Structure 1
Amino acid sequence: MRSPRHVRTSKHGSAQHSSSQHGSAQHSSSQHGSAQHSSSQHGSAQHSSSQHGSAQHGSAQHGSSEYGLSQPVGSASATPSRGLSVALACAQGAWPHHDWPAPDDPYVRRVLHLTPPYRGLQDSGADVVVLRCEDPSVSFAELLKAMGDMSAPVIVVTPRRDSEAVVEAFRGGAGYLVEGDYCTCMLSSAVMAATVGHTYLSPTACAALRDAAQGMPGNGQATEQLRALLSPRERQIMELLSTGLGAQEIGLRLTLSEKTVRNNLSNIYAKLDVRGSTEAVLRWLGATSAVRV
């Protein structure tokens, strides 16, 4: 599988997540409609952000989360005003939401259905790719191969909820929605969030990510030593970042300017020896070793 998703990497580390701890992990960023939330939030992931619809971030009540990764190349042109184009990659008849997107969907304008091996994907002009599959460990790698140099962000929709599958997809830069754990409004919000660099995780996926961190041998002590490298303010910022809040939302919570938050994030990345928010969150949660993912 490719390195942390060519598609997003660390520019913003900061902006990433929004929300604050909602068991559901939503993430941040204004991007999510209902599920909007707030970003990434892992673990319980809760995020909160306030700006997202239901899953919205803001609320800490949304179980989903989004992590802010760097924006995918070319994503800036995908604006809600014109509507987004989504490539739906799944086996024939396997898509569970035949009523999506709704005619009045605020974000998604067009959906192009593609079956394996996803011929024509690179020429589809899709802003986001939604992969519906039974086994992400196999299908995600196949999709990345079919995408080639395509820079569109990916959201995985699957019944699998184990930590291994979630961590692998998250490390690859993909959002992760567990079937039965989200609604179509959240799906649209996750799509919108992806275009501005956020990785959305549904509540169950967030919980799986935290479980993976807690289950690592010697994780507790190693994680505490890592966190000790950060100042009290930096630890506050990382705690909010890991729940899905983005730089703007973190600033509002801590009464700091967005620029100050981003400067702090740059220092945090240097101290943790990571390239961006995804790696930083994984390290913070103890879901990865000291080596770069």
Structure 2
Amino acid sequence: MSSALLVPPPYRELRETEADVVVLHCEDPSESFAGLLKAMGSLRAPVIVVSPRQDTDTVVEVFRGGAGYLVEGDYCTCMLSSAVVAATVGHTSFSPVACAAIRDAARQLPEQAQATEHLRSLLSPRERQIMELLSTGLGAQEIGLRLTLSEKTVRNNLSNIYAKLDARGSTEAVLRWLGAASAVRV
């Protein structure tokens, strides 16, 4: 990515760009996110929503739309940068408050909560630590730095996690970890 472009609503200029990632900063994602998706047309760039809204319904709505979500004041510039870079390779990032909102929504479904707890019980304590960090959008290198592990060790753990969770990759593993795999088609 060599440049950033500010595109105000109604986002018409987006169709003329070749954006790698779209970051939508808005007050009300319920309104703005739908308008953005419509305006994007055939552009299939990943979206990251940045908003002060942190209610469960709003976060889950954006999540079901396939976008990452960062709650204002709940992330640092490094996390935003990591989220953008991760989005270019298919990762979906959430700030800690957004993760908690998705977990709350999943817990409201009793059968889903049981299934999620069963899946989590399959993981070792170290694998659970790695999944917690992965679910916030960190990559293998960043997780390694946080846990003082080599990147290769983290990648080996991730391979084991994917097998245990029957996931094809990090996004699907995170969806299962957060208890939202049945709510969103991967």
The structure with the largest helix share of the pair is: 2
1:237 aligns with 2:130: yes
Alignment correspondent of 1:163:
56
Aligned-pair identity in percent equals: 70
The 8 Å contact of residues 128 and 194 in structure 1, kept in 2 or not, is answered as yes
TM-score by length of 2: 0.72
The one-character-per-residue Cα deviations of 1:186-240 (angstroms, maximum 9, x if unpaired) are 4686256313435444454343223223333244432221123334543342233
Between the aligned partners of 1:240 and 1:164, the Cα distance in structure 2 is 23
How far does residue 166 in structure 1 lie from its aligned partner after superposition? 0.9
Residue identity matched to 1:85:
A
Residue identity matched to 2:131:
M
Structure 1 alignment gaps of length 5 or more = 1-77, 87-111
1:113 aligns with 2:4: no
The structure with the largest strand share of the pair is: 1
The 8 Å contact of residues 182 and 202 in structure 1, kept in 2 or not, is answered as no
Alignment correspondent of 1:182:
73
Between the aligned partners of 2:68 and 2:98, the Cα distance in structure 1 is 9
The one-character-per-residue Cα deviations of 1:130-184 (angstroms, maximum 9, x if unpaired) are 3244543454233223223424332223453221221232344423244xx339x
Residue identity matched to 1:115:
P
Between the aligned partners of 1:253 and 1:230, the Cα distance in structure 2 is 19
How far does residue 265 in structure 1 lie from its aligned partner after superposition? 1.6
After superposition, residues 14-33 of structure 1 pair within 5 angstroms as: none
The 8 Å contact of residues 7 and 14 in structure 2, kept in 1 or not, is answered as no
Instruction: Name the structure, 1 or 2, with higher relative contact order (CA <8 Å, separation 6+).
Output: 1
After superposition, the Cα gap between the structure-2 partners of 1:275 and 1:137, relative to the gap in structure 1 and judged at 3 Å, is farther
Residue identity matched to 1:249:
E
1:209 aligns with 2:102: yes
TM-score by length of 1: 0.50
How far does residue 247 in structure 1 lie from its aligned partner after superposition? 0.8
Between the aligned partners of 2:93 and 2:142, the Cα distance in structure 1 is 16
The number of aligned residues is 183
CA RMSD in angstroms, aligned pairs only: 3.4
Alignment correspondent of 1:194:
84
The one-character-per-residue Cα deviations of 1:25-73 (angstroms, maximum 9, x if unpaired) are xxxxxxxxxxxxxxxxxxxxxxxxxxxxxxxxxxxxxxxxxxxxxxxxx
After superposition, the Cα gap between the structure-2 partners of 1:191 and 1:114, relative to the gap in structure 1 and judged at 3 Å, is farther
Between the aligned partners of 2:162 and 2:184, the Cα distance in structure 1 is 13
The one-character-per-residue Cα deviations of 1:228-266 (angstroms, maximum 9, x if unpaired) are 333454334223323443211322444543123223323
